[in-house]
Amino acid sequence: MQAKKRYFILLSAGTCLVLLFYFGGLQFRASRNQRRREEHGRNGLHSGPDRLWPRFPDALRPFIPWDQSENEDYNIQTSPRQKRDANSSIYKGKKCRMESCFDFTLCKRNGFKVYVYPQQKGEKISESYQNILSAIEGSRFYTSDPSQACLFVLSLDTLDRDQLSPQYVHNLKSKVQNLHLWNNGRNHLIFNLYSGTWPDYTEDVGFDIGQAMLAKASISTENFRPNFDVSIPLFSKDHPRTGGEKGYLRFNTIPPLRKYMLVFKGKRYLTGIGSDTRNALYHVHNGEDVVLLTTCKHGKDWQKHKDSRCDKDNTEYEKYDYREMLHNATFCLVPRGRRLGSFRFLEALQAACVPVMLSNGWELPFSEVIDWNLAAIIGDERLLLQIPSTIRSIHQDKILALRQQTQFLWEAYFSSVEKIVLTTLEIIQDRIFEHISRNSLIWNKHPGGLFVLAQYSSYLGDFPYYYANLGVKPPSKFTAVIHGVTPLVSQSQPVLKLLVAVAKSQYCSQIIVLWNCDKPLPAKHRWPATAVPVIVIEGENKVMSSRFIPYDNIQTDAVLSLDEDTVLSTTEVDFAFTVWQSFPERIVGYPARSHFWDSTKERWGYTSKWTNDYSMVLTGAAIYHKYYHYLYTHYLPGSLKNMVDQLANCEDILMNFLVSAVTKLPPIKVTQKKQYKETMMGQTSRASRWADPDHFAQRQTCMNTFASWFGYMPLIHSQMRLDPVLFKDQVSILRKKYRDIERL
């Protein structure tokens, strides 16, 4: 019995061993064959009979997050090595950041100055690139001395790096390497609109940029180097160099809905990169309030690739006018083209048509400073069918806010090549001088980053545009600045009477007399005794522009600018200042002038006729924020200020141009005084510039020169005049707060 048990146990153990070796061997061979197949697969070979499952040619791709999507043709499998090789010429400095690839010491010595290489003989430059260089050379950042420069810009045209383009510059690699200041691209900025070519349109610019920064259109988030590169918009060769057209939103219509909810009209690519999204638009098109039109009719051999929908699409495409659609749509679809960027982006912004972005992986223009969630809808190419329901769910208040923000961004940063270039430079400057850089509120709120100079102050309350945001009350005191050009020979001169009247104002903190007279400063006892300090300073170089220098002596934010022969009472000063406190970003004052377009001479005209319409308030009797002194001195070009100084004229016009350009608003005129006189000296006085017969001719010339530099006419007409309550009402004079104004 015991023998049988032992026999059974041995038999069972043997059977278990046999089964163990059998199944273990199968598993070992399977794993070995699997490893062999994997090795063959990596070597580009197929294992033939060892393959367990068939290899389908149209296998589904794995899901890729939108921020990791590739820019290559969806129908072409590209290995990581091929991608690296394709981009090797531009991304050798892939890890470059300001801290590692930029020499800050060049900027510490002389501030942020930009040097443009001199144009090389025989080198052709496209009109667009010439506009970029002209914008830099006309800016306050430009220097012609490379030893003073912080940033360098090539004169070689790098905008179009598509080898099939007629604008393509050949042998750029050797030309760049031969530049004696190149230094492997350190502290260099390269502008580029188009890169790569058919069929894959990679982001290769065709030469080694070294450690240079890229200001590039259609750049992907994958290749964008944060805090180093700058994403710029794609703009056409017809984009204005300066100024630019205003946005098309004229009135805030409520509700803010237009004829069409969503529109698009553009090319449809039948094959290659960028074709997938546009080929699917017909699924969303309903021909009513969602009108998405595409055409196959482009390129030389489009008929060779036409599909069954081409004829129908082309017919539908011809039925609609693009401009009519653009101006009558609430949302505009902005799908990617061959490259990530599209001209539709800027067109939608200008038209106050809220952009609906369908370009996965595109680093949006100036994304470092602009919050695009305030002006656009960021869609996903894979969720195209959900776009209509998404935009229909947006509340009307939100739509209105989005449309208003499109207009602000268009006019602040995108309406001209100059603004695009200056925004790029300002972003780089903020990186270099990070301790005084502008915050998101400044960049995304009127008047924008180009007009708010961080060198003036790092505190928002020092600018007149943010009082409401900060909950800060406007200043309660002003500094009077009297411009003196006439020798003090009599105690009855108008300047002394003016000084006494201003000093009696309850809002006056101090009086500064800017002495621009050729005669020496009068003795202190010649000035009348007042309750407020009177400071007499000599103007720099005794020129007209010196009246707008930001003197340290001006301790208040509010400035009352006065000519020496102005006639104002204390009551008028008080009333004007209380009005200014409600409009601290504007010029508020008494003497008004206007401009007009002279169609016969095709130029701007200047008039001093007393009408209900005005566009300027002269600084001979006006109140404004002292920040405009800083802007006048540091923002405006030397050429305009030199013109003012040479003519000894037009400084008041230039200040009005500047303030209207910043605020996009007219000045404010206060109570009309029919007894107001420009001067008490008479037209025959040799000291009065109003007696000069060339005075008005000079001002006409100034108007047109200033408009040329700004690129448009910033002055805005107004018919608003603010008077005291009960002014000229048939009630007792005792009931009126500003009683003396009515008697003047």
Per residue in 681-724, pLDDT (tens digit) is 343 344 455 556 688 899 999 999 999 999 999 999 999 999 88
Q: Are strands 588-589 and 534-538 parallel, antiparallel or unpaired?
A: unpaired
**pLDDT exceeding 70 applies to what percent of the chain?**
83
Please tell me the distance from the alpha carbon of residue 445 to that of residue 721, in angstroms, as a whole number. 28
Chain position carrying tokens 């059977």: 15
Hey, what are 642's tokens?
């030199």
Determine the distance from the C-alpha atom of residue 497 to the mean position of all C-alpha atoms in its chain, rounded to a whole number: 47
* Residues of the chain scoring pLDDT < 70: 1-8, 10, 16-92, 272, 274, 299, 301, 303, 672-693, 728, 742-744
CA 4 → CA 18, 38, 183, 381, distances in Å? 21, 51, 93, 76
- Model pTM greater than 0.75? yes
Contact 374, 401 (CB under 8 A): yes
The pLDDT of residue 726 is 74
Q: Coil, helix or strand for 137?
A: helix
Please tell me the distance from the alpha carbon of residue 245 to that of residue 713, in angstroms, as a whole number. 11
Burial class from Cβ neighbours inside 10 Å (0-12, 13-18, 19+) for residue 344 reads buried
Chain position carrying tokens 């001006």: 554
Q: Which of 85, 185, 167, 173 minimizes the C-alpha distance to 129?
A: 167
Domain boundary assignment for the chain: 87-232, 260-415, 478-679+687-722
The pLDDT of residue 17 is 66
DSSP for residue 681: S
In sequence order, the 6+-apart residues with CB closer than 8 A to the CB of 316 are 287, 293
Which helix (H) or strand (E) segment is 632 a member of?
A: helix 627-634
Q: Coil, helix or strand for 645?
A: helix
The pLDDT of residue 168 is 87
Backbone phi, then psi, for 152, in 5-degree steps? -125, 140
Backbone phi, then psi, for 161, in 5-degree steps? -110, 25
- Check the CA dihedral 37-39-42-44 and report its sign: negative
The pLDDT of residue 6 is 64
- Check the CA dihedral 606-611-614-617 and report its sign: positive
Can you state the angle between helices 638-647 and 651-663, rounded to 10 degrees?
Answer: 150
Is the peptide bond prior to 255 cis by the omega test (within 30 degrees of 0)?
Answer: yes
The pLDDT of residue 26 is 47
Q: Other CB atoms closer than 10 Å to residue 662's CB: what's the count?
A: 23
Contact 484, 494 (CB under 8 A): no
Instruction: Enumerate the β-bridge partners of residue 563.
Output: 483
Q: Which of 610, 624, 612, 616 minimizes the C-alpha distance to 657?
A: 616
* Stated length of the chain: 744
Question: 165-200 burial, b for 16+ CB within 10 Å, e for fewer?
Answer: eebbbeebeebbeebeebeebbbbbbbbbbbbbeeb
Backbone phi, then psi, for 483, in 5-degree steps? -90, 110
Please tell me the distance from the alpha carbon of residue 45 to that of residue 101, in angstroms, as a whole number. 43
Question: 532-570 burial, b for 16+ CB within 10 Å, e for fewer?
Answer: bebebeebeeebbbbbbbbbeebebbbbbbbbbbbbbbb
Q: Which of 314, 318, 427, 411 minimizes the C-alpha distance to 369?
A: 427
In sequence order, the 6+-apart residues with CB closer than 8 A to the CB of 690 are 678, 679, 683
Contact 557, 585 (CB under 8 A): no
For residue range 651-687, list pLDDT tens digits in order.
999 999 999 999 999 999 998 665 554 443 343 344 4
Which helix (H) or strand (E) segment is 642 a member of?
A: helix 638-647
Looking at the domain that runs over 260-415, which CATH code has it been given? Answer: 3.40.50.2000
Looking at the domain that runs over 478-679+687-722, which CATH code has it been given? Answer: 3.90.550.10
Contact 325, 290 (CB under 8 A): no
